[in-house]
């Protein structure tokens, strides 16, 4: 599917406008960005916004999550947005993701101490949402 990004909610969720004025909420597959209120939460959202806001993106997906969001891979300007977010250290690989490429991107960002990985006390959002600090 393709649509224009009309809103960036956080570092891993966008809203796109489809033909017929239908909006869809897209949760970027395989990644987990810092929550609002977490260190780098605003920076992650801003980076994603700079990449996709107002642009037409292509989404590949197979399913929706329990909240009705499409779980998708987002493509824009020749880039895979999901991968870029992890590569620059502004998202973790999602806790349950088995995608080896994302594990490699995260390991490299950690090695380089990029953004969230520059903080030795950074808490994965999956654990943060569960109150584990």
Active site residues: 27, 35, 69
From 90, 80, 86, select the one nearest 47 (Cα to Cα): 90
- CA dist 26 and 14 (Å) reads 5
Can you tell me whether residue 66 is helix, strand or coil? coil
DSSP structure string for 21-42: G-EEEEEETTEEPPPTTSTTHH
Q: Are 81 and 74 in contact (CB under 8 A)?
A: yes
Place of tokens 């980076």: 47
């Amino acid at each position: 599917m393709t649509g224009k990004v009309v809103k960036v909610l956080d570092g891993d969720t966008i809203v796109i406008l489809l033909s017929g004025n239908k909006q869809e909420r897209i949760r970027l597959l395989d990644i987990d960005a810092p929550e609002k209120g977490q260190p780098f939460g605003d920076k992650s959202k801003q980076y994603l916004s700079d990449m996709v806001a107002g642009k037409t993106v292509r989404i590949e997906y197979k399913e929706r999550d329990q909240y009705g969001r499409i779980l998708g891979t987002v493509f824009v300007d020749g880039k895979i947005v999901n991968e870029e977010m992890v590569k620059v250290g502004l998202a973790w690989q999602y806790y349950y993701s088995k995608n080896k490429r994302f594990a490699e991107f995260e390991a490299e960002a950690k090695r380089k101490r990029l953004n969230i990985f520059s903080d030795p006390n950074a808490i994965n959002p999956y654990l943060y949402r569960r109150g584990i600090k």
